[in-house]
Amino acid sequence: MAEPEVYDLRGLICPLPVLKTRRRLSTMKPGDRLWVETTDALAVLDIPAYCQQSGNALLESVAVEGGHRFLIERTKIEKN
């Protein structure tokens, strides 16, 4: 399995982290993984909610200095 890409969304505020994450994941193959880095406090709620609604797997959520990192795995079919 390839090393997950890192998608730096630090400095962006709601709703941009979720919208940009959704767009990036839509270009990836099923099984690909993506680290999303954010500084928006609402991303702690928004990214997990997006993953649950879309069917993509949130594998890890980690608080880091100044923000948060999320490891997401692209699923075969995104729910609408």
Confidence of residue 20 (pLDDT cuts 50, 70, 90): very high
Q: Say if 80 falls within a structural domain.
A: no
**DSSP structure string for 1-70:** -PPPEEEE-TT--TTHHHHHHHHHHHTSPTT-EEEEEE--TTHHHHHHHHHHHH--EEEEEEEETTEEEE
pLDDT at 35: 98
Task: Read off the CATH number of the domain in which 33 is found.
Answer: 3.30.110.40
Convert the pLDDT of each residue in 24-77 to its tens digit: 999 999 999 999 999 999 999 999 999 999 999 999 999 999 999 999 999 976
The residues that bridge with 33 in the sheet, in sequence order, are: 73
- Residue listed under structure tokens 């630090």: 10
Q: Say if 65 falls within a structural domain.
A: yes
Active-site positions read 14
Residues 10-35: what's their mean pLDDT? 97
This prediction's pTM: 0.92
pLDDT at 26: 95
Structural domain count, the chain: 1
